[in-house]
Amino acid sequence: KIPVSGKTIFLSVSKGIETRSLKRMSELIREELGKVKIAVLSGPTIAYETARGIPTTAVIASPEARINRYLQDVFMAPEFRVYTSLDTIGVELGGSLKNIIAIACGVSDGLGFGTNTKAALLARGLAEISRLGLTLGAQAKTFSGITGLGDLVTTCISPYSRNRKVGEELGRGKKIEEIIKHMRMIAEGIPTTKSAYKLAKKHKIDMPITHEVYLTLYKHKAPIEAVRDLMGRRKKEE
């Protein structure tokens, strides 16, 4: 057992929302470790690119500016630029929920759609993420930053994105059970979709893309039917 105290700083790099409790990773860490200082590191950091020293940015977030500055100094490097934020909720949610939209973008790729479709999914997906995030206490500006829009774009377009790849395989007609069976690493967007679906129902938040991804993953809805239902929704203002 690792000894901890009120001065211990625990940095979480996990992205996800627990499916039963619907808690963020930092909340679960708090339950397990008690009165430690908790910060999170998140952002568009595809591992393959980061390991190669390609210029990358990320955000460290905690409620304490002093801790943020300390960790910023620890992790800052010539090819790794670190920003700070006091919005732990927004940073965690942005890093988690974008994986759902990445699955949707992958479905679009698998179905052979183009950039028009992906642009729509990115824009409307960010709107869904923001709606849920604001309801849960996040700050709006976080979702237009590195851990919101930045991480969303990277995960939705990168050929190395596991979540986008899951969606692509779904779009090509594979069953989710078959996809999971042959995966070497977890795609966090699969369980996060269930968590976000539950949160949307709990708080009565309109999240149509998340809803259709959930039905595709957990109810075996045909991806093309999900697309038709999204496009056939009632008319509205943006």
Tell me the catalytic residues.
Answer: 98
CA distance 58 to 150: 9
CA distance 180 to 184: 9
The SS3 of residue 207 is coil
Beta bridge partners of 11: 39
The letter for the amino acid at 69 is R
Beta bridge partners of 24: 17
The letter for the amino acid at 39 is A
Cβ neighbours of residue 228 closer than 8 Å, sequence gap 6 or more: none
CA distance 82 to 42: 10
The letter for the amino acid at 132 is L
The SS3 of residue 184 is coil
